[in-house]
Amino acid sequence: NAGVTQTPKFRILKIGQSMTLQCTQDMNHNYMYWYRQDPGMGLKLIYYSVGAGITDKGEVPNGYNVSRSTTEDFPLRLELAAPSQTSVYFCASTTFQGLAGNTIYFGEGSWLTVV
Amino acid sequence: GQNIDQPTEMTATEGAIVQINCTYQTSGFNGLFWYQQHAGEAPTFLSYNVLDGLEEKGRFSSFLSRSKGYSYLLLKELQMKDSASYLCAASLSGGSYIPTFGRGTSLIVHP
């Protein structure tokens, strides 16, 4: 069972370049999220999706875009990369079970450096 | 959004017990997660509390008080491998299930 898979693991971008971080999950989860984590900080929500065709902004969406054409995939696009986007990016997914308990599954992370 | 507060750093001795506290805003609160994150790795799930009280899972226990907006993670019989960051995250009720994470508590276990 692969869980949440995100690629690439490491990437160096030049200022102004664009790229897409890929994320796919094989657990049929309806909720998917993109977080970024800066050194010594917690996870900040960039974008999230509650199902295919539905996306919404999180706390720090500027400079990013997402799409959710299928249940499995939730790519994150960086347009015109800036040094402030140097960070570790985590994709995550879950299916809300209310009182039955929840686990949010995380991908392994993508380390992005913008120079 | 949620304001999640937890200490920045804690140190403890191998074999000891440590309690990591977390406070959050109670408005719209649904449940509380604890995650462990080793340096350079993804967060891994430890617990999810919805109801008041203590839930025990081996060496780790998590407590929740909904009325006080308070939770703690209790780690017993500390091992060196428990050195990690511990993230508290609150989820809100309603149609959008969005966990909000605190900054994390860096726990250093020394011999």
Question: Cβ–Cβ of A42/B99 closer than 8 Å?
Answer: no
Q: A72: pLDDT confidence band, cut at 50, 70 and 90? A: very high
List chain B residues with CB under 8 Å of A59. 1
CA dist A68 and A63 (Å) reads 18
3-state secondary structure (DSSP) of residue B82: helix
Instruction: Quick: pLDDT tens for B32-79.
Output: 999 999 999 999 999 989 899 999 989 999 999 999 999 999 999 999
Instruction: Quick: pLDDT tens for B75-95.
Output: 999 999 999 999 999 887 665
Question: Cβ–Cβ of A99/B103 closer than 8 Å?
Answer: no
List chain A residues with CB under 8 Å of B43. 43, 90, 106
Computed over every residue of chain A, the mean pLDDT equals 92
What confidence score (pLDDT) does residue A2 get? 72
What confidence score (pLDDT) does residue A113 get? 97
What confidence score (pLDDT) does residue B13 get? 97
CA dist B87 and A103 (Å) reads 14
List chain B residues with CB under 8 Å of A35. 101
Residue A25 in this model has a pLDDT that exceeds 90: yes
Q: What are phi and psi of A83, to 5 degrees?
A: -55, -30
- Pick from A90, A96, A101: which is nearest to B97 by CB? A96
| Token representation of residue A12 | 């160096």
| Token representation of residue B51 | 């109801």
List chain B residues with CB under 8 Å of A108. 41-42
What confidence score (pLDDT) does residue A99 get? 54
Burial class of A48 by CB neighbour count within 10 A (0 to 12, 13 to 18, 19+)? buried
What confidence score (pLDDT) does residue B92 get? 73
Cβ atoms A21, A75 nearer than 8 A: yes
Q: A101: pLDDT confidence band, cut at 50, 70 and 90? A: low
Number of residue pairs across A and B with CB atoms under 8 Å? 56
Quote the radius of gyration of chain B (alpha carbons, Å): 14
Q: B21: pLDDT confidence band, cut at 50, 70 and 90? A: very high
| Token representation of residue A50 | 């509650």
